[in-house]
Amino acid sequence: MVKPDIKQFNEIAQAFKMTSEERKDFGEFLEEEKAAGYGGTKNERGDFTYQELQKKAREFLGLELEEENFED
């Protein structure tokens, strides 16, 4: 169990104003991403760095798409 990682993950969820339910789903989503080969670079297990978690959070919440559309 890696509490610093969980705390970091929690901070990202809070920064993106996720609900507790979304935070839980986001955790499942990240594991799915790791299993599908889209893991992070933090370690050999595919965990995510802080910046990667931020990017994944945006992807999970559909924010990147909205930003791209806004730019268009």
Under the rule (CB under 8 A), what is the footprint of another protein? 1-7, 9-10, 13-14, 17-21, 23-32, 47, 59-60, 62
Shortest spacing between CB 70 and another protein, in angstroms: 19
Measured from the CB atom, the residue of 17 and 71 that comes closer to another protein is 17
Measured from the CB atom, the residue of 23 and 55 that comes closer to another protein is 23
Q: For residues 67 and 58, give the distance between their C-alpha atoms in angstroms, rounded to a whole number.
A: 10
Give the tokens for residue 30: 């990240």
Measured from the CB atom, the residue of 21 and 68 that comes closer to another protein is 21
Instruction: Tell me the residue length of the chain.
Output: 72
Contact 12/53 with Cβ under 8 angstroms? yes
